[in-house]
Chains A and B, each alone.
Chain A
Amino acid sequence: GEDVEQSLFLSVREGDSSVINCTYTDSSSTYLYWYKQEPGAGLQLLTYIFSNMDMKQDQRLTVLLNKKDKHLSLRIADTQTGDSAIYFCAEGDTGKLIFGQGTTLQVKP
């Protein structure tokens, strides 16, 4: 079946760049998404990329998609302590999504 895999933990220093990686199996997904979840909060859509794109940049966020390897990454430039959260990669269409298990990003001052 469809599956989405992520590394579980990433620690960076404030001001550094963070790169969170994800692999997926379903090549028919229309979109690939990055969501952010802070403690006690719901999921917040950070950004998404259409499956026929290779890259998308949105302020401090850069999404790279390698369709051949089914690999998705999220780069956060100039990482701040407020970026500390769990980041979920997801594939699917609109609200019908398959999520990875989440990557906990720890930002040290």
Chain B
Amino acid sequence: EAGVAQSPRYKIIEKRQSVAFWCNPISGHATLYWYQQILGQGPKLLIQFQNNGVVDDSQLPKDRFSAERLKGVDSTLKIQPAKLEDSAVYLCASTGQPNTEAFFGQGTRLTVV
């Protein structure tokens, strides 16, 4: 079974530029999550999708972050414009049935300079 795929693995941008991350969850997984992991901290949930609908985006800084999952499969997370404090690893996870294990991708490491 293929795991959660994320791209790119690494990205370096200048502040005020835009960036987008892509996630392909495990086939058939209805629920998808984006997490932000700042160096030295635990991951923090940004947004949760159920199929193509947003379940929880209360922790997403909506002035600069946006996410979509238009067809209920792949998802993109965008930052526009980026700030220095957005430097982090962005992790995508997916789950199938309720109360089952969440599978995480390897993440995209973003460095904003």
A76-109 at interface with B (beta carbon < 8 Å)? 88, 90, 93-102
B68-113 at interface with A (beta carbon < 8 Å)? 91, 93-95, 98-102, 104-107
B contact residues vs A (CB 8 Å cutoff): 4, 31, 33, 40-45, 48, 56, 91, 93-95, 98-102, 104-107
- Interchain CB contact under 8 A, B106 and A42: yes
CB neighbours of A30 from chain B (8 A): 99
A-B contact list, 22 entries, CB within 8 Å? A4-B42, A30-B99, A41-B106, A42-B91, A42-B105, A42-B106, A43-B91, A44-B104, A45-B102, A93-B99, A94-B95, A94-B101, A95-B33, A95-B48, A96-B33, A96-B48, A96-B56, A97-B45, A98-B45, A99-B42, A102-B40, A102-B41
From DSSP, what is the main secondary structure of chain A's interface residues?
strand
Q: Closest approach, in angstroms, between the C-beta of A87 and any C-beta of chain B?
A: 11
- Interchain CB contact under 8 A, A43 and B48: no
CB neighbours of A101 from chain B (8 A): 40-42
Residues of A within 8 A of B (CB-CB), count: 21
Task: Pick the residue among A41, A95, A100, A102 that contacts B102 (CB under 8 A).
Answer: A95
- Interchain CB contact under 8 A, B99 and A43: no
Q: When chains A and B are docked, how far (Å) is the Cα of A68 from the Cα of B26?
A: 37
Task: Indicate the member of A43, A90, A95 with the most B CB atoms within 10 Å.
Answer: A95
User: Which A-chain residue is minimally distant from B102 (CB atoms)?
Assistant: A95
Given contacts A4-B42, A45-B102, A95-B93, 20 further A-B contacts (CB under 8 A): A40-B106, A42-B4, A42-B91, A42-B104, A42-B107, A88-B42, A94-B95, A94-B98, A94-B101, A95-B31, A95-B33, A95-B94, A95-B102, A96-B45, A97-B102, A99-B43, A101-B40, A101-B41, A101-B42, A102-B41
Q: When chains A and B are docked, how far (Å) is the Cα of A102 from the Cα of B33?
A: 20
User: Which B-chain residue is minimally distant from A100 (CB atoms)?
Assistant: B42
Q: When chains A and B are docked, how far (Å) is the Cα of A93 from the Cα of B48?
A: 12
User: Which A-chain residue is minimally distant from B106 (CB atoms)?
Assistant: A42
